[in-house]
Structure 1
Amino acid sequence: MHQHHVRPDGLPPVNGYSHAVTFGGRMVAVSGQVPLDAAGNLVGEGDAAAQTRQVFDNLTTALAAAGATMADVVRLTIYLTDLADLPAFRRVRDEYLSPDAPPASSLVQVSGLVHPAFRVEVDALAAI
């Protein structure tokens, strides 16, 4: 069972993440997912929302292969090449995660990802 500490007393407001998550169970680590479809094609060139949706679809697929779902995610690390993409990222992320039990998260702006057209990459840690 997971316990989400969204905003403990004394910590600042959050936007779609928990300050801390406690959990037990089998751990599932998902490598950074990028906006490539099953055929290896880039999805959404120049479109942060389309790329984010593909990344979360890939996360969902990888988690399912390990017997997990997005509800089992306890931590995300998000890499964006442009912080102007953050509102689009948040809108799509919120389609995949429960607002009542968001994972702990870190967001990092990076100068680039493995492919110059990638705008977003996300890795995950889940507990089942």
Structure 2
Amino acid sequence: MIHLPRPEGMPPTNGYSHAVVASGEVVVVSGQLPADTEGRLVGDGDPLAQARQVFANLARALTAAGSDVSHLVRLGFFLTDLADLGAVRTARTEFLGDAPEPASSLVQVAGLVLPGARLEIDALAVRRAH
């Protein structure tokens, strides 16, 4: 994969690449919510706890599909309150570790399907080489 964090003439970024070039088998991960294995909300009212749960769920889905954080192409963020962005960025940094920063988008939404959920994140990745 080729990550282009800030091509010439592009504005600065904060934790994402403006573009990513990837090849291989595509892994599409549905939007993940801050839910435990029983579907119960984790971290009611705590955006950092919710973000950490969402990223844990993303990691499990990526692993199940034969991928991992280092093979992410894009993350899509849906937040009910943009004031939570700092907490989400903290959890994203923990999740990515030393992996290259994927392309990203962020949308504020009025609500999510899980009552009390403050964010949902979906992902696009490629599979690890076999």
- For Structure 1 versus Structure 2, the TM-score category normalised by the shorter chain is over 0.9
Question: What is the aligned partner in structure 1 of residue 63 from structure 2?
Answer: 64
Distance in 1 between residues matched to 2:68 and 2:100, nearest whole Å: 13
Question: What is the aligned partner in structure 1 of residue 103 from structure 2?
Answer: 104
Question: What is the aligned partner in structure 2 of residue 121 from structure 1?
Answer: 120
Question: What is the aligned partner in structure 2 of residue 79 from structure 1?
Answer: 78
Q: CA deviation at 1:39?
A: 1.7
Question: What is the aligned partner in structure 2 of residue 46 from structure 1?
Answer: 45
Alignment root-mean-square deviation, CA: 1.0
Question: What is the aligned partner in structure 2 of residue 22 from structure 1?
Answer: 21
Q: CA deviation at 1:99?
A: 5.7
Question: What is the aligned partner in structure 2 of residue 11 from structure 1?
Answer: 10
For the 8 Å contact 2:33–2:114, the answer to whether it is kept is no
Moved >6 Å (runs of 4+)? none
For the 8 Å contact 2:6–2:17, the answer to whether it is kept is yes
Q: CA deviation at 1:97?
A: 1.1
Q: CA deviation at 1:83?
A: 0.2
Q: Relative to structure 2, which stretch is displaced further, 98-107 or 28-37?
A: 98-107
For the 8 Å contact 1:16–1:99, the answer to whether it is kept is no
For the 8 Å contact 2:72–2:123, the answer to whether it is kept is yes
Question: What is the aligned partner in structure 2 of residue 94 from structure 1?
Answer: 93
Distance in 2 between residues matched to 1:17 and 1:4, nearest whole Å: 9
SS at match of 2:83: helix
For the 8 Å contact 1:71–1:98, the answer to whether it is kept is no
Q: CA deviation at 1:115?
A: 2.2
SS at match of 1:29: strand
SS at match of 1:96: helix
| TM-score, structure 2 as length reference | 0.94
